[in-house]
Amino acid sequence: MQSHIEVHSMTSGQDGHPRKTALGPGELRCNECGTVVPGGAETCDECASADLAPVDSLDARLVAHDEDRAIVFLLRREGPNVIGRREPGSSAPEVDLQRFPASTTVHRRHASIEYVDGVWHLSHLGTNPVLIRRGDETIGIAPGTTLPIVTDDWIVVGSIALHFAVA
């Protein structure tokens, strides 16, 4: 079944396909908010945290863009990494998309990424769309199902595109 999903995040290029999320050598990731800052920065210019780590030291990650800023979400190999949106009075998911304008299309627990037996898997937990874009192919994931993902896949949650990469 083919469905058309318009991707509203800043990761979309003019042709409608997600743009590359190349990160420069030496760039740092804020461990508080995920914002990428230039190498040599002492604090995050988004949230003022001094808890910064080299982006290239991250094993598995999702990269998105908020305006023209790269946001990097670290993926843990132990346990599920829930992708969703923080609600008032609740704890934030591991990949909190609340900061993105298109987050209204994202459920509180929309999807999850988990590392099992040497393979990364994406599970659809919500009802709004979850897609995998792999090259020119778009794969829809039905609610309640799980599919393997590989480095350079684009994961579309609601209408936010996230680039999956493993170092």
Q: Which DSSP string corresponds to 12-73?
A: B-TTSSBPP----TT-EEETTT-BEE-TT-SS-TTT----EEEGGG-SEEEEEEETTEEEEE
pLDDT score at 4 = 34
pLDDT score at 22 = 59
Q: Could you tell me if residue 147 is inside a domain? A: yes
Q: Could you tell me if residue 35 is inside a domain? A: yes
Q: What are the structure tokens assigned to 27, written together? A: 């760039």
Q: Could you tell me if residue 22 is inside a domain? A: no
Q: Could you tell me if residue 17 is inside a domain? A: no
Give the number of C-alpha atoms closer than 13 A to the C-alpha of residue 98, restricted to the C-beta side: 13
What are the two backbone dihedrals, phi and then psi, of residue 102, each rounded to the nearest 5 degrees?
A: -85, 10
At which residue do the structure tokens 């792999």 appear? 134
CA distances (Å), origin 94, targets 26, 38, 61, 118: 24, 24, 11, 20
Q: Could you tell me if residue 10 is inside a domain? A: no
Three-point CA angle 33, 94, 111, nearest 5°: 130
pTM listed for this prediction:
0.80
Q: How many domains does the chain have?
A: 1
* Domain CATH for 82: 2.60.200.20
Q: Which domain holds residue 89?
A: 28-166
26: left (phi over 0), alpha (psi -120 to 50) or beta: left
Label residues 88-102 b or e (16+ Cβ within 10 Å = b).
eeeeebbbbbebbeb
The DSSP bridge partners found for residue 160 are 157
Three-point CA angle 59, 61, 63, nearest 5°: 145
Q: Could you tell me if residue 18 is inside a domain? A: no
Average pLDDT across each block of 10 residues of the chain; the chain has 167 residues. List them in order.
36 47 77 90 93 84 86 93 91 92 93 97 94 97 97 95 93
